[in-house]
Structure 1
């Protein structure tokens, strides 16, 4: 297990293929080529199509993600890591399999099945932290936001920890105007609702939230829910002052952060047109409505990459540089301008289509193998 932790922390963007960055997915321009962008322009799932794109900003990318296609089911996962890639990679490797295992036990996928899969994933990563803490204490400071979408038997389930976000675009009546609904709530201390929630849960802790220009939990982190971040959950993983990034003067006597996801479900309707799942790097620069309009008004092929590029362009506009100059900057240097960004756009075509049961992971040009949805084929 410790060798796995070591491999996680030494991983870099080399797992991403150098794919030409194009404006229309049909032609490439070397002057606009971005070696830190990965994409799949358009692929089929069991009830429509999806587009997938990732751009790196950090020296070691901390966003992991996946798409799992079943014969009559679909899974999307966006895992925005912080403090390193260990937690987000662990979630990518284990959450979906935990969901499949729970579905086999329950004979179905439900909100409770999804909650159980999140709990098992948190417990599993805490075991990784426990085994590695003595050799690599900073593993206690690694965590991940988690955003999951599951389409199962005509219903959509969405679960999240942290501030990645999912929205749905839909029409009403005969109008072609796209309407937008946010499907998740951001677990971020910048929101007054979250600050009230933290204060109510920790009434005797005057430093539960601190504002030094940005609201932070215990003056360390903006999000209030995550997988990992053991130093803010369990006293045995407290880090001392030699690790200032993760040092909290007051001992943690009870968990400050939660791994309990917000979960919701809805029956999909013929008027539901598409879903956007993305890490907060997208939403820092685009509103829900702006992102939905880009999807609504442009061709499907390559639309996830178009959203990534629109967000990055908006971010660098404030810094006075052009996109052609940004693409010359390597991983690590890019973090000054934008975050790692993952975007998955899911089109809902209200009809079943033939789609192979495949597993896709962000950063790989081809499917990584068959999806484990096949293990619950008899439940579909």
Structure 2
């Protein structure tokens, strides 16, 4: 969705039909996006367990290649959620690693139970959860400030809870402005921001920067956010329209992302349009029984791994031990073995207490590993 456009209506219901598919997945094939997938609606999750935060070292694992994970999956069984009976249960795990950087500038947040976290006065329309990854640069001030305040700006917004989409967009701008006004912090530091706010079965992804949200739908990687790189055609056009330039992949020759909070040395007066934008792009998904887990991660992971590779790897791990914390740790370790040169932060959110079901390959369907 381009910046400044209206938020799209919820996606339509799955029609309940099921058909056998012949699929060939190659490395060059891009993961599916939400525009190609239909979703079902409505429901409420029960309150559930607390969040997990874990950091690990770069211990060695047996090496796995991209080809080992980047494969397609076809199920011979149709989903049983044709009538909107699915109720997600949230459990999460996370892992952060400094990598080869001199300092750790990433931050993240995992809240599996918003009602417990915010209390009864939070005006929640249904039980829910909140997750975020914040990839800082130029210091840790911006990432830490946004992590600690972004949810508060959302739930205190005048449009919350009646128009959550507007509340989220306003919260990004308000948090950005509040950070600029915080005299004790370095306003020239900056951060990307990727959040997932879930009420019942409705999940809203908000992204400003190059972190990425990827959903596993029966083993298929569904990208729920777009990487805001300056070289992205839509971002380059927006930047140049506002008087900026993209030089060697950097915004104004300085920054490798096209959207970020903070970095006030690169922005104009509050409220003015500038090439470096804090406006998030939003995507809505209605969770169904097919939706197994969500990956939120900084670009340190995506620089060395495709979305489908990450989904397939995590799915295999969950089938082995069903522990999202351990999954996040294994994904970070794999990225380190692939020589990621950035800080690494991964959040895994599961939507069921059970591991993903074993996939049965339908007759006539085949997989091609490249």
Q: Same fold (TM over 0.5)?
A: yes
Rounded Cα–Cα distance in structure 2 between residues aligned with 1:309 and 1:22: 7
Give 1:21-60 correspondences, 5 Å limit: 47-57=89-99, 58-60=101-103
Quick check: 220-229 or 110-119, which moved more? Answer: 110-119
Deviations 1:325-344 (A, max 9, x none): xxxxxxxxxxxx62111101
Deviation at 1:59, TM superposition (A): 3.1
Residue equivalent to 2:346: 343
Structure 2 counterpart of 1:243: none
| 1:74 alignment partner in structure 2 | 129
- Structure 2 residue runs of 5 or longer lacking an equivalent are 1-52, 62-86, 116-126, 355-370
TM-score, normalised on structure 2?
0.64
Other-structure match for 1:304: 328
The answer on 1:167 being equivalent to 2:214 is yes
Paired residues in the alignment total 258
Unaligned runs of 5+ in 1: 1-15, 25-44, 172-177, 237-252, 316-336, 352-380
Q: 1:181 — aligned with what? A: 222
1:55 CA displacement: 0.5
Task: Output the CA distance in 2 between the equivalents of 1:228 and 1:282.
Answer: 23
Q: CA deviation at 1:217?
A: 0.7
Measured after TM superposition, the shift of residue 102 of structure 1 is: 2.3
Q: What do residues 135-178 of structure 1 show as CA deviations (whole Å, max 9, x unaligned)?
A: x8xx343100000001112100000110000000102xxxxxx1
1:46–1:73: 8 Å Cα contact kept in structure 2?
A: no
Q: Do the aligned partners of residues 216 and 107 (structure 1) sit closer, same or farther apart at CA in structure 2, a change above 3 Å counting? A: closer
* Distance across 2 between alignment mates of 1:298 and 1:17: 17
Q: 8 Å contact 1:225–1:259 — kept in the other structure?
A: yes
CA distance in 2, matches of 1:114, 1:350: 29
**Equivalence map 1:1-380=2 (5 Å):** 47-57=89-99, 58-70=101-113, 71=115, 72-102=127-157, 106-108=160-162, 110-128=164-182, 131=183, 139-171=186-218, 178-202=219-243, 208-211=245-248, 215-234=249-268, 255-299=274-318, 300-301=322-323, 302-315=326-339, 338-349=341-352
Distance (Å, rounded) in 2 between the aligned partners of 1:18 and 1:195: 36
Find the aligned partners of 1:219 and 1:348 in 2 and give their Cα distance: 41
Structure 1 residue 49, shift from structure 2 partner: 2.1
Query: What do you get for the CA RMSD once the two structures are aligned?
Result: 2.8
d(CA) in 2 for partners of 1:17 and 1:346?
Answer: 14
